[in-house]
Every structure is written in C-alpha cells, then in structure tokens.
Chain A
Amino acid sequence: MVTAKNIHHTMKTIQKIGLAIFILCLGVFISLLGIGHYQLSDKIFKETITDANHQQLLKPAVSFMIDKDYDSKIAFIADFKKAFNSVNDEFKKNQQWDKVIYADYTQPIVKHSTIGFVKENSLILFFICFVVSSLGGLMYMIPALFIEPVAGIKHNDIFKTAITSRGIIAILFSIGLISFYIFLYKAPEYITNWILLVDDLSFAISGSEASQWFLYGFLYCLVMTVMSARMYIKYRHNNYQLVRTTSVLFFQIAFAFLIPNILSKLNLPSMDFKNMWPLDYTFFFDYRIDGLISKGLLGYWMLGWGIFLFVVGVPVMVYFFGKRWYCSWVCGCGGLAETLGDPFRQLSDKSLKAWKYERVIVHSVLVFAVVMTAAVLYTYFTGNSKLLGIDTGSIREQYGFFIGFIFAGAIGTGFYPIMGSRVWCRFGCPLAAYLGIMQRFKSRFRITTNGAQCISCGNCSTYCEMGIDVRAYAQKGENIIRSSCVGCGVCAAVCPRGVLKLENLAEEGRFEAYLRPEEK
C-alpha cells in the first residue's frame, strides 16, 4: 500500500541522492582546478599574442618556457608572469611608458597551453559538471512537491537549518562564493580548466573562444534556471511569483547572455540591452563609447538606447510600476538574488541602525558613480586626464575595484548566506538608489496595508530581503512606501492574514494611514 508516510520517505531518499549527486559533481568541478599539464608552444604563443609588436617584445623573455612541460599550473603561471613582468619592468625603469604592455595575456596563455585530461574530456566533464549536477539539484528540489503536496508557504525549519541560518555550512558556502569572485575578477588564469569546459558552447553561441566572463554568464544562467525551478515549486500557488520569476529568468538568459553573444557572432556591437548606467558603470568609458560609435548607426542607436533607459525609462516605468519593474523583474543582480538568494532572504538586518547605514552607503555609491562618470566623460571630451588635480583614470579604477569587484561581486553575492540575498542591491547599487528616490517621491506603487488586519506576527519583516521592517508600517495601518522596496512580493505572500498587497494605484493618499471610522 502506498501511504503518505511511504511517499514521504521515498521522496526524502530521492532528495538525499540528488544532494549527493550534486555534491559529487561539485567535487569534480572543483578538483578540475588542480589537474592538467601545461606546455607553451611557439604556435600557441603566436596565436595567443596576436599583436605582432607584443610578440616581438615578449618572445625573448618567454623563450625559456617554450615546449617545456609543466605539471603544475602554479609554476607555469609564475614563470609566465615573471617573464612578462621582466619585460614591462625594463620599460618602466627606462620610462618608456608607451612601450609598456597593458594587455593581460596570462589567462588565455594558460588556457591555450593546457594539455591532457580536461582538454581531451571537456565534453564529458561539461556534462558532469553542469548537466548532471543540475539534475542532482532538481532531484533535491522536485520531491518538495510530494513532501509538501499542498501548496502554501512552507518555511518550516528555515531557522533550524544550518545553511539558511548562518550555520557552519553557510559560512563555508560564503567563503566558496567569495573565492569564486576573487578568481573570476583577479586571477582568472587559475580557473582556465573551467573556462575550457565551455569553449565549445562559446564557439557555438558567440563564434569565439570562452573567456572567464562567458563562463560566468553561463553559470549565472544555469544557477538561475535550476533555482527558478525551486521558485516555481515553492510559489506554485502564487501567480505573481511565477510570472516574476519567469520574467527575471527570461531577461537573464535572453538579454544578458544570448543576445550579446549572438551579436558578437554576427560581428555587431554587443550589448546587454537591459543593463543600464549607473549599475553598468563602464557604459560611458572611452573604450565602450568608441566601440559603439565605430560600428556606425547601430552603435549610435545602442548608445542612445542606453541613455534613454536611465533618462526616460526609469522615471516613466517607476512612476507606473515602482522600482520593481527593474529590480525584481528585469535586473540580473536581482535575478540571482531572487533565485539563488531566495533561501537566504530572511538573513537581512531589519534594525533601524541597518537602515541608517543603508541610506548613507547606497546614496554615497550613487554620488561616487556620478562623479566617476562625470570625470571619465570630462577626460573623454577634453582629453585632459586630470580633473581638479585628480587623475580620472584612477577614480575609474578605484570605482571598478571597490564597487564593481569588492561590493557588487565578492560581498554582494558572497555574503548571501550571511547577510541575505540583497546586500549589494540594498547597500551598494547606485541604480537601485536612483530608482528608489523616484519610487519614494513620484510613483503609483505602494504595498497597501489592509485596514487594521495586521497581527504583528513579523513574517513580512523576517522575509523581506531588503531588510524593510514591513510590520512597523502594517501594524499602524500605513502603506509601505520605501525607496528600497524592490517589489518582490514575498511579504504579501507570507502574510498569514492577507494584509499586504503590492499595487499601482493613484498617487493621492498613498501615505495616509488607515483609521477605523470609529477612531476618526
């Protein structure tokens, strides 16, 4: 006889097997970093360093490496960097600044020089690391349909499970994520074995070999897809969540990943049409403007579109729909937060103190972004590299390092298991700050509080990923209008008494609290 208990037991077993498969695949994936042989041939050298001038300059320095078999990646990278730096150091010493090589060849050189197991088995490894691991993940998630066969909010044990309540596994996961971002941004030459796995795919989609950014884009889409399955199961009773998850997944896969790569393949200027300044902080950098302009009319149109988005798109869309149209429906950072980050949303800090820090920090980043961009454009148009005595290149570099890499990447995603899924969006994103100012002062969007129905239970505040103390408003009968609200709709979903509803209504009265007629 098939009883509920039997099904429950079977499904739990399937979950465990799924988790084991996932962990095994992850183990394989990580262990790839440590294997492989490296041999730099003359042919590879010439194919990788395409600039004839650089070839000539570097050739003597790296000649000792040619055809030498390295079984350690670290030794190979160390030798190449030493050779490379020796050339540059010489130029710097002689103050021959025009000759210094700024291109970073390390990652492609390492990748191209790889021989052996990973290269020969990239297809099967791709299958194990990405396909089988995803299936393992799905095996872990789908049984929830049978373990909790009745749809509804099932947050059981979230604060008793290590991964979702800052346990040891959460900390390890956090360290793993941070390490990944450090490699990605600062030492991609060490993860070339991973990049190799997606080379074939990259050729197919973009027509060229994979870089670390292609790998990142691919992983991003994969993780979001698998974690979206989790969202679809979890919120199968809530159409708002289903539609929103579909939207954010679509924009990631189509707009952030496929379209830019396909444009590259067609030899057209590449662009993520939904990304916008100031989140896309390099948008006004010289190489991007020049890159677009050099491609003619289409490039000009793209430049215009990028400007239109934040000049016209933001105010108009925020007025009608609130900040959510971007942050939880379109944005890539938001997309990851709403899928991979969803299990961690309850870890955001709801204290008043956190809100004070948030306002200072996020608006400071917005100011920093505006100043940095203004400085960069000043240099672009005047050719003068100094603004008020400060080198604009260094401002730009600082922004890229501290905001682009440390804040958005390492902290933004790396701290999911510690500070919740929206650390970047809440404390750091300059676009979120800009959208938020619009939302606070000129928008029809609000979270309506249903009269006096709030029982102050705190589910809304607990599960607000932006750390808004939703209850503080709801229990007073006030609508929730906060610049940081990304409109994910989870407060309304978890409310046990139907007190909250996200909606776009007339602007009038949106700040008025509900008073019972007897109390007026």
Chain B
Amino acid sequence: MRIVIIGNGVAGITTARYIRKMSDHEILVISSESDHFFSRTALMYIYMGHMKYEHTKPYEDWFWAKNRIDLKNAFVDKIDFQNKTLFTANQEQISYDKLVIATGSKPNKFGWPGQNLLGVQGLYSKQDVELMEENTKGIKEAVIVGGGLIGIEMAEMLNSRNIKVNFLIREKEYWSNILPKEEAILVGKHIAEHHINLINETELQEIISDDNGRVKSIITKAGKEIPCQFVGLTAGVSPNIDFLKNTDLNTDKGVLVTEYLETNMPDVYALGDCAQFANPKENHPAVEQLWYTAKMQGKALAQTICGKQTIYNRGIWFNSAKFLDIEYQTYGMMLKSPFEDEDSFYWEHQNGKICVRANFSKAEGALRGFNFFGIRFRQTIADEWIRNQKPISYCISNLNKGFFDPEFSKNHHQDIVKSFNIQFNNHQAKAPKKKFLVW
C-alpha cells in the first residue's frame, strides 16, 4: 500500500514515522517548503543566530532513507480524489492508496490596504524567515500587528537586532483573549522591560508605501501614523488549504475531519494545523494549531491507517510558550477566566516575573488546571492531579513535588502556601518544613 503525505511538518512526519514503526507500507512525504523535516518552533532561533538551519532538523538526513520514508520536494496543486492521483505544480502525477493532508497554516491577512507591499510579511515558514532576513537588513523601525505567540516571537527576533519594535495589539493587555488579566499584565510588563513598544487597543488601518513599493509607515484605526520599514503580520494563522477549495473534499476553515481524522473522502485523512474538527469537544478549539496536538494526532492517525482504528484523544490539555525570558507552562483547561463553577488562586512573586495560578471547583475543591510563569512544573504530576481531581489543598501543599526548575533554584513554595491560605482559608494548605541541603 502506498501512503502519500502532503506536508513534512510535525503532523505529517509524525504520521509517517509511526506508520513505519507499525508497518511496511510505502510512504512518500511531499513538501515544497524544505527537503527535510525541521522544527518550525525553532525558526526564530535561526534568525537570532542561536542556531543554523541544520540544527533545527530533528533527524539527520540519512534517517529517511534508512527508514524507507521517501521524500519529495514538490508543490501539490490538484488532487483527483476519484482516481486517487495528485498533480504537482510541474505536472507530475502521483498516485496514492491512502492520502494524508498535513499542509499546515498560512499567516492571516485581513485585506489591509498595503498588505502585499515589500517589507510586509507574516512568519510561518522557512521561506518567511529567509524573507525576513532580507526585509530587515539595516532597518531601524518595525511594526508588528497582532499580539499572539508569533507576534511576541517576531518582537524578540527584531529586538535581538536592535530594531525598534512597535507592537500593535487589539486587546487591552497582551494576549488577554487567552491569558487571565494578571498573567497578561505580567507579560506586558516584561515586554516593556525589553523596550518593546506595546501599543494596546490599536488596530491597523492601512500600510503606506514609499516610491519603490516598500512600506514606509502604517496608519492605525485611530489615525496615528507610525513610521516603519517592516511590518510583521502576526494576527494568527489559518489552514493552508486553498488548493482544496471547490473540490469534493468537505472544508470549512480547515479540512473537516472526524475524531479519527478522516475526511469525507475515502482513504483521505487530514491532521495538524490544516484540519478542523467537524464536531469539536466542548471548550476545545475546532482547529488545533499546536506542535503537541500535531504530534498526538499523527500518532493516532498512524494507528488508524495501519488498521487499528484509534480516536484522537487530546487528554489533559497542556501547552507551553516562552515570552522573551519568561517561560510559560499550562496544564488543564485554563482560559482567560475560570469556569463558573471554579475558584481561581493566583500568586505572583514580588519581582513580577514569576506566578502560579490554580483553578479548582468551588464545590469539591478539585484541581482543574495550572498556569505557571517563570516556574517549571512536571507534566506527570500536573496531569495526574487534574485527572484524579486532587483536592486543591493537597496540590498546593505538595506543589514542591512538581517543581522542575534547575537544582539550586529558589523555591517559592512557602510563599505560595502562605498566600493560598490567606486567599482561601476554607482550604488550608501546609508546606513541608524546609530541609537542610536538599539536592
């Protein structure tokens, strides 16, 4: 059986790897972005000079031939689902028995005037980073539009080259459509500390061109003009499925899939950024644009393709990010405000860079989730506590069991417990006594 995978990002490659682990099927991965799988999450480090492209490849180049995963650098622009055939941009035909669509995302552009000018771009692909390298050579000022995770990455990238960054966000605080207010303010202060100019409640009206078709400034909806030689469009990404529109494949924002990642066409599957769950679980997004979910989906899909029908199960939600120098880990379903039946405990260190949030049910005090900023925490512990609905007092008392910061790091457990007991005197927590010389 020949399995063809379009897209060599983490979704497509994870699928390919697990199919190979479980079977001897012929596997072909097609991508027009790069010859080999690389880590998209590391693109920013190439720009900043922390790494070279070579370092972002999780597997050495010989890996693919050795594991009989064929790679092809080509752009698929048409699919004949009836005859199970792909057509590449240079008219090559490729037939498949099973097809996996893992084409990822593309940056959102909302039809702003001037959005296609020179020096205006999004950040998603390897080509985008190469373009950004060109676009930012010798420039002094930049504007970033949209305050999500890619926006802050781009701000950090530009900041590393001493380019003045004006960071336009629609909300009052950075990423406050996702983060609770306290956390959003904490990150906002850190952004200011890096001399990145966060401009809140501001939207882009228009991008202005100079005589050479290159950006020279932007105008906000409030009519303010900000001079800049570069505009980063980072208002989210959307599924990269233009070539599938107007085909027999059911699509909406993304390719519509079941919980088995099956599409409406037989033997055609989709996963990762480009897939959209037709019936998402309550409180779960229909399109999951995460590294972690792509990996899990790939693993589940590989089993289904190899004959063992497997539901994709996200399990206890988790995610992570890094905002400049502050690391962020979240476990459980933590939205910008707790659910109605939940209480929320928040502790922040006086330095304003470290905080913990724990949400728990009002009725039983069962732990629902954690947010950690500037503290590393063990996933195994968080997962187990949330899964088993451990009482919040137990969790706060035993928080030190989950701390994952490097040895000799300062431990804030006592402070956190004290703060918890003041905020919630109906659930008393106890911190273990400090031991001398605990390694």
**Residues of A in contact with B (beta carbons under 8 Å apart):** 4, 8, 150-153, 155-161, 237-243, 351-352, 448, 450-453, 455-459, 461-462, 471-472, 475, 489, 492-493, 496-498, 501-504, 514, 516-519
Contacts and interface: CB of A to CB of B under 8 A. Distances in A.
B406 A8 contact: no
B383 interface: yes
A159 B50 contact: yes
A496 B292 contact: no
Across the A-B interface, give the 8 residue pairs with the lowest CB-CB distance, nearest first.
Answer: A451-B379, A152-B325, A498-B376, A239-B408, A157-B49, A457-B42, A155-B50, A160-B49
Given A453-B292, A455-B42, A501-B407, 5 more contacts: A155-B45, A156-B48, A238-B406, A351-B60, A497-B327
A471 B45 CA distance: 15
Contacts of A498: 320, 327, 329, 376-377, 404-405
14 contacts: A150-B194, A151-B325, A155-B50, A161-B49, A237-B325, A239-B409, A456-B41, A458-B42, A458-B51, A459-B51, A492-B406, A497-B321, A497-B327, A498-B327
Contacts of A489: 406-407
Contact of B329 (A453, A472, A492): A453
Contacts of A458: 39, 42, 45, 51, 55-58
A452 B299 CA distance: 13
Contact of A457 (B56, B379, B383): B56
Contacts of B55: 458, 461-462
A152 B324 contact: yes
A330 B60 CA distance: 34
Given A152-B324, A451-B380, A459-B50, A240 B409 contact: yes
A519 B45 CA distance: 32
Interface in B372-395: 376-380, 383, 387
Contacts of A151: 325
A456 B51 CA distance: 13
A428 B395 CA distance: 48
A498 B370 CA distance: 15
Given A157-B48, A450-B379, A457-B42, A502 B407 contact: yes
A501 B42 contact: no
A244 B246 CA distance: 62
Contacts of B320: 453, 455, 497-498
B439 interface: yes
A241 to B, nearest CB: 8
B296 interface: yes
B318 A453 contact: yes
Contact of B39 (A4, A156, A448, A456): A456
Interface string B106-141: 000000000000000000000000000000000000
A483 B60 CA distance: 22
A156 B50 contact: yes
Given A451-B380, A458-B56, A518-B315, A155 B48 contact: yes
Nearest to A243: B408
A453 B50 contact: no
Given A156-B48, A457-B56, A496 B322 contact: yes
B388 to A, nearest CB: 10
Contacts of A492: 406
Contacts of A457: 39, 41-42, 45, 56
Nearest to B326: A152
Contacts of B434: none
B162 interface: yes
Nearest to B63: A352
Given A450-B378, A456-B10, A458-B39, A517 B315 contact: yes
Interface string B266-280: 000000000000000
Contacts of B41: 455-457
B330 to A, nearest CB: 11
Given A157-B48, A503-B407, A451 B378 contact: yes
A158 B325 contact: no
Contacts of A452: 292, 295-296, 318, 379
Nearest to B164: A5
Interface string B79-102: 000000000000000000000000
A242 B377 CA distance: 22
Contact of B193 (A150, A241, A475): A150
A239 B269 CA distance: 48
A462 B318 CA distance: 26
A151 B190 CA distance: 11
Contacts of B56: 457-458
B410 interface: yes
Interface centre among B10, B325, B407 (most CB of A within 10 A): B407
B37 to A, nearest CB: 9
A306 B99 CA distance: 65
B374 to A, nearest CB: 10
B291 interface: yes
Interface centre among B314, B378, B406, B408 (most CB of A within 10 A): B406
Given A452-B295, A456-B10, A471-B58, A239 B379 contact: no
B221 interface: no
Contacts of A240: 406-409
Nearest to A475: B58
Nearest to A244: B408
B312 to A, nearest CB: 9
B52 interface: yes
Contacts of A516: 296, 315, 383
Nearest to B52: A159
B30 to A, nearest CB: 21
B25 interface: no
Nearest to A241: B406
B160 interface: yes
Nearest to B162: A8
